[in-house]
Amino acid sequence: MTDRHLSFEFFPPKTPEGRDKLRATHQHLARFQPEFFSVTYGAGGSTRDHTRDIVLEIQQSGSSASPHLSFGGDSKEAVIALLESYRDAGIRRIVALRGDLPSGMGGMAQLVYANQLVGFIREHFGDTFELLVACYPEIHPQAESYDRDIYWLGQKLQAGANRAITQYFYNPDAYFYYVEQCQKAGIDQPIIPGIMPITNFQNLVRFSDSCGADIPRWIRQRLKQFGDDSASIKAFGLEVVTGLCEKLLAGGAPGLHFYTMNQAETCAALCRNLGFVES
């Protein structure tokens, strides 16, 4: 089943222990031969060096690494220099984002919309990089409206992005309806569902509240009932997310992008359940 897209997302750890754990996670998930591993970026440049170091290490290990990138407070020259270092290291794919500014940076930095970043990269680097962008089946929290959010996705793709990866969601109908609306708006590039495994109730609620992802009531209630019983949360999460992925793939999704949170076990279990071949 190698025709289905598979990719994994990491964030840059802050400690040496976190780096060691990420190395082990990468080695574990590399057995599934994903198309790429992407590494997030703190808009405002807060993780610039960490993101670059991890990206280069993954790329040098023989896997394909894809850095996330946003302008934040960086100058054009700094962004160009970073992209040149990626190009020279053989990186051929970037996830281009507007990002969100970390708190405390207001006024010091300016957000650059992702369609502008995509245009900037195409202007300075031509077709050197494949460009992926973010999209939101449940609609970006700051969007003016459902249709306007799809309009801006279209603008990112028209500016030269090749594919989109979605924010996570647990309702497959939200994805299928969104893809249908995108197609009606003339978008025919692949829209890859982003999948967040369920392993910890409190963290999931916190992330979901901040990024506008909906946790259906029945999932919330079930997770709440498990309390501190982490084994039951993981078992239920695995069952629910496997079912979600099965529905997405059966309904025509081009593949899956996993938000790993730098943990291998749950993503590996999901991949096995879904029949991704392990070497």
246 catalytic, yes or no?
no
Q: Does 68 bind ligand FAD (CB under 6 A)?
A: yes
Residue with tokens 């500014």: 101
Stretch of 37-45, 177-185, 223-231, 246-254 lying at the interface with ligand FAD (CB under 6 A): 37-45
3 state SS of 171: coil
State how far Cα 103 lies from the chain centre. Answer: 21
Among 35, 53, 100, 246, binds ligand FAD (CB under 6 A): 100
Stretch of 36-44, 171-179, 236-244, 270-278 lying at the interface with ligand FAD (CB under 6 A): 36-44
Among 21, 31, 140, 247, binds ligand FAD (CB under 6 A): 140
Closer to ligand FAD at the Cβ: 87 or 212? 212
Closer to ligand FAD at the Cβ: 32 or 169? 169
Residue 83 CA to residue 130 CA, distance in Å, equals 12
Residue with tokens 């680097």: 125
Closer to ligand FAD at the Cβ: 32 or 71? 71
Q: Does 99 bind ligand FAD (CB under 6 A)?
A: yes
Residue 65 CA to residue 62 CA, distance in Å, equals 9
Among 30, 78, 80, 143, binds ligand FAD (CB under 6 A): 143
Q: Does 174 bind ligand FAD (CB under 6 A)?
A: no
Give residue 180's region: left, alpha or beta (phi > 0; psi -120 to 50).
Answer: alpha
Residue 216 CA to residue 218 CA, distance in Å, equals 6
Please spell the DSSP secondary structure of 205-273, one letter per residue.
HHHHHHHT----HHHHHHHHHHTT-HHHHHHHHHHHHHHHHHHHHHTT--EEEEE-TT--HHHHHHHHH
Q: Does 261 bind ligand FAD (CB under 6 A)?
A: no
Minimum distance, C-beta of residue 165 to ligand FAD, in the bound complex (Å): 4
Report CA torsion sign: 184, 185, 189, 193: negative
Q: Does 178 bind ligand FAD (CB under 6 A)?
A: no
Q: Does 175 bind ligand FAD (CB under 6 A)?
A: no
Stretch of 12-20, 35-43, 53-61, 266-274 lying at the interface with ligand FAD (CB under 6 A): 35-43
The Cα-based distances of 223 to 58, 144, 204, 220, 246 in angstroms read 34, 32, 10, 5, 21
Q: Which residues would be at the binding site for ligand FAD (CB under 6 A)?
A: 40-43, 68, 95, 97-100, 113-115, 134, 140, 142-143, 148-149, 152, 156, 165, 167, 194
Q: Which residues are catalytic?
A: 9
